[in-house]
């Protein structure tokens, strides 16, 4: 995997999102530094998924801005945001058909110049382009631990392997910013540790930024450079994992202020 991509900063500034009387995000600001692993955490209903939906163009803000380098994202359609290099995985795996290779090639479509018709006609330059894409996709499969499963139907994979397909498919878009939605939910302890290592090695190799929503606080604290904490739609804390773990506001949000124990264990 080659490094050296030019990764812009993501700046979320004073973002508010409302749904019929409910304020899901209330003046939220945070910055994801280029090449960092940044976690977005908070109790259920804190606004994490809403933030992801704003960043990927699914929800519109009532006010505030989201800038990725020079680009303002809040008015852009999801495909335009994807084209800027922001790729997202989902909490619930949505792949069931085709092989691992087929699913990863789907993640490639935003980068494929050849349209449907020219692909169908199998013109020589298209075949060359397809071959190059397939080589890159295989490289990404190897890198994410799916090399041996490349031609295996996704329906035959374990749950843990499918989570890796989700990650690999997002990487096939060659993102500058990867949005990971609960990448270890449903995985056992060994699979969780392995996924965390893969995400870290992807970041190290590609130099991209990672914004991760995850409930496993132990894992978040080990793998993140920076953490932003939301509660009831507000940013209540932010900083390094050490700073956030010691912050009384965070402890109160998670534990109702019943103890001053550091936040570091899995919360559900
Ligand atoms: N499309 C929507 N319509 C109405 N309310 C919504 C919508 N999406 C989210 N909300 C509300 O916004 C608030 C924040 O929800 P959100 O899903 O962003 O929280 P979360 O931190 O991702 O929670 P969880 O950890 O449970 O996934 C909640 O009160 C939720 O019910």
Question: What is the C-alpha separation between 146 and 158, in angstroms, rounded?
Answer: 12
pTM of the predicted protein model:
0.88
Ligand 1 mutation target, pool 46, 90, 214, most atoms within 8 A of CB: 46
Mean pLDDT, contiguous 10-residue spans, the chain (268 residues): 78 97 96 98 94 96 97 95 91 76 83 53 65 90 95 93 93 95 93 95 95 93 96 97 94 66 46
- Identify which of 211, 99, 96 has the alpha carbon closest to the alpha carbon of residue 159: 96
**Does domain 1-85+175-268 correspond to CATH entry 3.40.50.12280?**
no
- Tokens 């960043």, located at residue: 55
- Of all protein residues, the one whose alpha carbon is nearest to atom 12 of ligand 1 is 24
The set of protein residues with a Cβ atom below 6 angstroms from ligand 1 is 19, 22, 24, 42, 44-50
Ligand 1 mutation target, pool 15, 40, 48, 185, most atoms within 8 A of CB: 48
The pLDDT value recorded for residue 129 is 74
Map out the domains of the chain as residue ranges.
1-85+175-268, 96-174
Q: What number is the ipTM of this complex?
A: 0.96
The pLDDT value recorded for residue 257 is 43
Question: What is the C-alpha separation between 246 and 242, in angstroms, rounded?
Answer: 6
Q: Strand ranges (DSSP E) for the chain?
A: 10-19, 22-32, 37-41, 63-68, 71-72, 86-88, 177-181, 209-213, 226-231, 234-239
Question: What is the C-alpha separation between 221 and 215, in angstroms, rounded?
Answer: 11
Q: How far is the CA of 152 from the centre of ligand 1 (A)?
A: 36
């Amino acid at each position: 995997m080659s490094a050296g991509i030019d990764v812009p900063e993501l700046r979320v500034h004073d973002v508010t999102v409302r749904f019929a009387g409910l304020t899901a995000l209330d003046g939220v600001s945070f910055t994801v530094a280029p090449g960092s692993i940044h976690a977005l955490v908070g109790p259920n209903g804190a606004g994490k998924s809403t933030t992801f939906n704003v960043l990927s163009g699914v929800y519109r803000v009532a006010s505030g801005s989201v800038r990725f380098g020079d680009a303002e994202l809040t008015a852009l359609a999801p495909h335009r945001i994807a084209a800027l290099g922001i790729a997202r995985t989902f909490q619930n795996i949505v792949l069931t058909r085709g092989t691992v290779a087929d699913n990863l090639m789907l993640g490639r479509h935003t980068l494929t110049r050849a349209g449907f018709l020219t692909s169908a006609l199998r013109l020589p330059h298209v075949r060359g382009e397809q071959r190059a894409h397939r080589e890159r996709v295989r490289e990404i499969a190897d890198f994410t631990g799916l090399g041996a499963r490349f031609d295996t139907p996704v329906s035959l994979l374990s749950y843990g392997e499918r989570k890796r397909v989700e990650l690999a498919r997002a990487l096939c878009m060659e993102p500058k910013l990867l949005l990971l939605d609960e990448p270890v939910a449903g995985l056992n302890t060994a699979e969780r540790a392995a996924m965390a290592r893969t995400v870290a090695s992807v970041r190290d190799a590609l130099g991209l930024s990672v914004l991760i929503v995850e409930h496993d606080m132990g894992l978040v604290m080990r793998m993140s450079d920076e953490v932003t904490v939301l509660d009831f739609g507000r940013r209540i804390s932010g900083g390094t994992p050490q700073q956030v773990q010691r912050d009384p506001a965070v402890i109160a949000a998670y534990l109702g202020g019943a103890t001053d124990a550091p936040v570091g264990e899995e919360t559900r």
